Amino acid sequence: MDSTVAHRAISLFAESAHSSSQSRILSRPKLNKLPLSALSRKTGLRAAFRASPSVIAMSGAAAATDAEDENPKSKEVKLWGGRFEESVTETVERFTESISFDKELYRQDIMGSKAHASMLAKQGLVDNSDRDKILEGLSEIQRLIENGEFKWRADREDVHMNIEAALTDMIGEPAKKLHTARSRNDQVQTDFRLWCRDAIDRIIPCIAHLQVALVTLALKNEGLIVPGYTHMQRAQPVLLQHHLLAYVEQLERDIGRLVDCRARLNFCPLGACALAGTGLPIDRFKTADELGFSAPMRNSIDAVSDRDFVVEFLSANSIIAVHLSRLGEEWVLWASEEFGFITPSDSVSTGSSIMPQKKNPDPMELVRGKSARVIGNLVTLLTL
C-alpha cells in the first residue's frame, strides 16, 4: 500500500468522522437537574437457560431424593433469605443461576459499587473508614477476577451476590453496608447500561477502521471502471471508488445510530432500588456524575423496568450486520470464476480437500453467516 495514499485517506476521513460524531454528541440536550425524589431483581438478563433435558424432565421422586441428599445447614444464607426456613435445592440453584454469563458484568458492577459507596459516605450513611475498606476490597476483587484467581460460586446466583459475598468474606461487617439504599434491580440496570455503553465505545472505532480501509482501497483504484448491476445483470458502468464509498455512507449511518443509542441509554438508574426508591437521603446526581451518566433517570419504575436501550442497541447492531453481510456477499461473488473481479489473498482464503483448484473466500462467507446470530439476538430479546 502506498503510504502517502493511506495517510491521505486516514487524515481526510478521520477529520470528517470526528467532527460529525462530535456534533451529534454535543447536540444532545442535557437533562436539567430537576428536584427529584430518591428513585427504586432482574427482569431481562436471563435470556438463556442452561437446564439440561434431564433436569427439566425430573420427576417428583427424583427431585425429592435430590433434596434429601443436601445438607441445608451447610448452605450459605441468601441475601433475600430472611423469611425462608429451608434452602433451595441444588437443582433449583442450577436452573436459576445467572453467574455463568452475567459475570461478564463484573467490571461495571464494581464500578457502580465504588460510586455507590462514595456517595453513601458523602451523605453520612457510612463512615469514611468503612468506605475506604469497601473501595480497597472491591479493587482487590477486580484484581483477582482479572488474574483468574476469583472463585465464582453458583450458589451465590449472580455477579452482584458473588462480589458482595466475597467482599464480606474479605473485610467483614463494612461490606454489608454497601447494600444500603440499593437493590439488585437498580444495580443490574446500572451494570447493563454501563456494559452497553462500553460496547458501543468499542464498536464505533472498529466501524471507522473499516471505513478508512474502504476509502484507502478506493484511492488506490482511482479511475477504475467496473460494471454496475441491477437484477444481477450488467446495467451501467460505474467507478469502483463510487461503489466502495456507498458502503462508507452506510457505515456512517451505523455510527450515527450507535451515537444516538448511547445518548439515550446514558442515564443512571441507581437509587430507584426495587422500584419505588428509598427514604434515605442519597444523592443520585453524585453517583450519576461519577459513573459518567448524563443525569439520574427521572422515574423509578421506568428505571428498573426499561430494556428499550438493549433493544435499540441490538437493532443498531443488526443493521450493521446486514451491511457487513451485503459487503461479504458481493465480494464472494466478485471472487468467483463467473465474475473474476478480485483474487483473494492466500492469507485470507481456504481450500478444498477434494477440489484442489478452489480458493474459497470463507471469512466473507462467515461474515454473512454470523450476521444471523446478531439478528437472532434482537428477535430473542423482543420475544423475551
Residues with active-site annotation = 231, 352
Cell readout for 185 is: 434491580
| Residue among 22, 4, 1, 39 at smallest CA distance from 275 | 39
DSSP per position, 334-376: HTSTTT------GGG-B--SS-TT--B-HHHHHHHHHHHHHHH
Instruction: Indicate the burial class of 66 (C-beta count within 10 angstroms; 0-12, 13-18, 19 or more).
Output: middle
Cell readout for 47 is: 435470556
User: Positive or negative CA dihedral for 285, 291, 296, 301?
Assistant: negative
Cell readout for 41 is: 431483581
In the numeric block, the cell 484507502 is attached to: 216
Cell readout for 338 is: 463467473
In contact, 347 and 362? CB cutoff 8 Å: no
Query: What does the radius of gyration of the chain's CA atoms come to, in whole angstroms?
Result: 26
